[in-house]
Amino acid sequence: MKSKTLDRLRPFIGVVILIGIWQAIVTLKIVDPVLLPSPGKTFSAVYTGLFEQGRLAFDFGKTVERACMGIALATVIGVPVGVILGASENVYRSVEFIIDFFRSTPASAVFPLFLLLFGVGEITKVYISAFGASLAIIFNVAYGVMNARKTRVLAAKIMGAPPLQRMLVVLLESLPQTFIGLRMGATLALVLMITSEMLLGAIDGLGLRIFEEQQLFNMPGMYAAIFCSGLLGYTLNLFFFITERRFVHWAGR
């Protein structure tokens, strides 16, 4: 019984230690207290920003909204394109280089291009994150479809499954890999969203909040905004993880 309680608490041990070290650094004045406020101050800034006053909650909401739009757009484009490319190995091989090339290009390198194409509006940031995310999704979905086990499709065929049912087998086969792509894509979309909010003249968003608080030397506010982006990234990952466990229960087995 006792060890069970310990097992449940285990994931928090690291958190407690980290906060302890942080508090110790502040107490012992190892780092300039202006640069590193205490955990208490920081978390109260998070609380105030999110629930009482200030723009943190608004910026948080804006980033969530745009990141979700970017991920949704990337999914809507990436999944069908990935399926089509993956359905024929020859087709995929002929565009593989392009996909690999752009996948390897740091997506922030295309910021200026996207500014030229779509202007400085907030939709540009959605396009940028969708661009980065969709490449990750296309790549993974295509590989998922290509690597669908031939035996399983053959088995469906000899049991009399019509073409549409066989296609369904391929899609289900590719689902675990598709989810890997979605998770990678979501993480990338968030990175690109925060970065473009910092660099592309945003009027709101977590990226802007971090940038502004730093300019104003409001360190608790800056840490609060950084913490919120971490929370957002972690929640996104958790969301995909739980969805995958629920709907793709056979993944990796």
Partner 1 sequence: MSADARTSILKPMSVAGNPDAPVDTRPSKFRRPHVTVRGLTKRFDDRTIYEKFDLDLPRGQFVSIFGPNGCGKSTLMNMIAGLIPVDEGQILFDGQTIDEIRFGYVFQNYRDALFPWISAWDNIAYPLRFMKVPKAERNRRVDALVKKFDVRINLKQYPYQMSGGQQQLVSILRALVVDPEILFLDEPFSALDYEMTLFMRDQMQRMFQETGTTTIIVSHDLDEAVYLADRILLLSRAPAKVVDFPIVDVPRPRNALTLADPEFNRVKGHCLEIFQQQVRK
Residue numbers at the binding site for partner 1 (CB under 8 A)? 149, 151-152, 154-155, 158-162, 165, 169, 172, 249-250, 253
Cα separation of 64 and 85, whole Å?
Answer: 30
Of residues 179 and 223, the one with the C-beta less far from partner 1: 179
Of residues 143 and 211, the one with the C-beta less far from partner 1: 143
Smallest distance from partner 1 to CB 251, Å: 9
Locate 194 and state its tokens.
């925060």
Of residues 178 and 196, the one with the C-beta less far from partner 1: 178
Residue 236: what residue type? L
Q: How many CB atoms lie within 10 A of CB 206?
A: 27
Of residues 36 and 161, the one with the C-beta less far from partner 1: 161
Cα separation of 58 and 52, whole Å?
Answer: 11
Smallest distance from partner 1 to CB 79, Å: 18
Of residues 117 and 154, the one with the C-beta less far from partner 1: 154
Residue of 103, 84, 75, 48 whose CA lies nearest to 228: 48
Residues 139 and 102: beta-carbon distance below 8 Å: no
Cα separation of 148 and 249, whole Å?
Answer: 17
Locate 165 and state its tokens.
């049912």
Smallest distance from partner 1 to CB 180, Å: 17
Smallest distance from partner 1 to CB 158, Å: 5
Smallest distance from partner 1 to CB 248, Å: 8
Cα separation of 108 and 112, whole Å?
Answer: 9
The residues near 65 (Cβ < 8 Å, ≥ 6 apart) are none
